[in-house]
């Protein structure tokens, strides 16, 4: 009995997948557990596993083509089986579903249709009348004929009207300005939108327009953090980055302010007891947010190794759904790109996201004197349905204290 292989939903946000490459060809024997193809989802390239034994009788999607979730991509069965009837039945079912959808859309349109009376546009049949010579002079002098009143028969614009119009323009300017013609060629490139970019666009648009965002910014003195990191790296086998310290300090601050570690679920607010911090990673096609799970229970060296591992796997598209699902808070750090300050869009289903800028050498006042200092700005984007200004500010204040005295996050 032939079995239809459909495009599976490989992530919670996946709507379609691209067949990167088929690892089996028509006529090959397939065993349960064999990898049929590699599929590019919105977040990673994943393996498509067979759950049936038999012969690969049909491949319906070529390498590089995209297909919606649940559509037929292959058929596995016994050698010699007739697959035409299967494909025909599938096509008929699809056509029926399409007709049902079209009928529903038409019914909806009929309900929503509002008749608007037509308004005659008295000017739509009115054509501009001008002599060929008038048109030529107007083009040379850069005069818009619609602004010229014609004195010829039936309002026709003639040479005299153009000359008079030129005199008016000249009299209003001390000198006539002749602009040189710009020579150029219009051109552009069009790049197909990747599955990842489509999902980023959809999810962040939903977040931005459904979650009422507000933003609060705070400066953090990084002097002690710089000194502390230097001492740690003198003995640590794993190099600790400022980002690692920020993740650890954020996890500690979230433990003290659980409302920041919450999710809005339409009819309820979920306050998470676990702390899973998503770390935004820039990749070729957009942005991935792998997660440091239970970040508050991990050491700096553990966090450092895990961030490096996840970042490398993200760039190579080797992440699995378990690596990016379940975030309770997100950090986006652009400091390494020389960005001083920015705001970020909240990552669903978090209540907040922390945007981290770079460390900037800045004059500061210390003991009444102006001295060199190192400041870092962080901006917390908050979902106002859950977090208010007071709770967001309290969280940032705690974060500031922890980063300015990093020994506290090691206790």
Cα 77 from Cα 83, distance rounded (Å)? 9
Report strand pairing: 329-333 vs 352-366.
Answer: parallel
Q: How many CB atoms lie within 10 A of CB 295?
A: 26
Catalytic residue among 213, 257, 273, 384: 384
DSSP 314-380: HHTT---HHHHS--SEEEEE-GGGT------PPPTT-SEEEEEEEEEEEEEEETTEEEEEEEEEEEE
The answer to whether 329 and 278 are in contact (CB under 8 A) is yes
Cα 240 from Cα 231, distance rounded (Å)? 10
Exposure string (b/e) for 331-359, b if CB count within 10 Å is 16 or more?
A: bbbbbeeeeebbebbbbbbbbbbbbbbbb
The answer to whether 39 and 18 are in contact (CB under 8 A) is yes
CA-CA-CA-CA torsion sign (168, 174, 176, 181): negative
Left (φ > 0), alpha (ψ -120 to 50) or beta: where does 389 sit?
alpha
CA angle, residues 403, 408, 323, in degrees to nearest 5:
70
Q: Which two tokens stand for residue 292?
A: 């440091």
Question: Has 213 been annotated as catalytic?
Answer: no
DSSP 34-89: -EEEEEE-SS-EEEEE--S-EEEEEE-S-TT-EEETT-EEEEEE-TT---HHHHHH
CA angle, residues 261, 267, 269, in degrees to nearest 5:
15
Q: By three-state DSSP, how is residue 202 classified? A: helix
CA angle, residues 142, 144, 147, in degrees to nearest 5:
140
The answer to whether 202 and 293 are in contact (CB under 8 A) is no
Query: Rg (Cα) of the chain, in Å, rounded?
Result: 32
How many residues belong to the chain? 411
What positions carry a catalytic annotation? 384
């Amino acid at each position: 009995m032939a079995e239809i292989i459909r495009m599976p939903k490989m992530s919670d946000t996946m709507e379609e997948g691209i067949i990167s490459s088929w690892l089996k060809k028509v006529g090959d024997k397939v065993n349960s557990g064999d990898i049929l193809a590699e599929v590019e989802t919105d977040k990673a390239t994943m393996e498509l596993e067979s759950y049936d034994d038999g012969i690969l009788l049909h491949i319906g999607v070529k390498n590089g083509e995209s297909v919606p979730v649940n559509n037929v991509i292959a058929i596995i069965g016994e050698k010699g089986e007739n697959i035409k009837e299967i494909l025909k039945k599938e096509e008929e079912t699809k056509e029926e579903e399409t007709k049902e959808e079209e009928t529903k859309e038409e019914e909806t349109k009929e309900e929503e249709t509002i008749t608007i009376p037509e308004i005659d546009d008295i000017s739509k049949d009115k054509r501009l009348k001008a002599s060929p010579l008038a048109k030529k002079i107007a083009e040379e002098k850069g005069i818009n004929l619609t602004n010229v009143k014609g004195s010829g028969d039936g309002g026709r614009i003639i040479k005299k009207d153009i000359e008079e119009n030129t005199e008016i323009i000249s009299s209003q300017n001390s000198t006539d300005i002749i602009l040189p013609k710009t020579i150029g060629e219009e051109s552009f490139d069009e790049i197909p939108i990747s599955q990842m970019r489509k999902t980023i666009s959809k999810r962040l648009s939903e977040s931005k327009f459904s979650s009422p965002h507000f933003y609060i910014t705070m400066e953090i003195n990084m002097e002690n953090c710089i000194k502390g990191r230097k001492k740690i790296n003198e003995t640590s086998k794993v190099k600790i980055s400022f980002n690692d310290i920020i993740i650890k300090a954020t996890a500690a601050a979230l433990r003290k302010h659980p409302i920041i570690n919450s999710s809005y679920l339409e009819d309820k607010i979920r306050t998470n007891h676990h702390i899973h911090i998503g770390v935004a990673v820039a990749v070729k096609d957009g942005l991935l947010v792998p997660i440091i799970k239970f970040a508050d229970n991990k050491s700096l060296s553990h966090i450092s190794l895990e961030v490096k591992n996840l970042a490398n796997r993200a760039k190579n598209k080797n992440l699995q759904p378990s690596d990016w699902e379940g975030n309770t808070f997100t950090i986006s750090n652009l400091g390494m790109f020389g960005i001083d300050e920015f705001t970020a869009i909240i990552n669903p289903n978090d209540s907040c996201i922390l945007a981290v800028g770079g460390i900037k050498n800045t004059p500061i006042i210390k003991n009444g004197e102006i001295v060199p200092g190192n400041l870092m700005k962080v901006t917390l984007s908050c979902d106002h349905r859950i977090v208010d200004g007071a709770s967001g500010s309290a969280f940032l204040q705690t974060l500031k204290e922890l980063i300015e005295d990093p020994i506290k996050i090691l206790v």
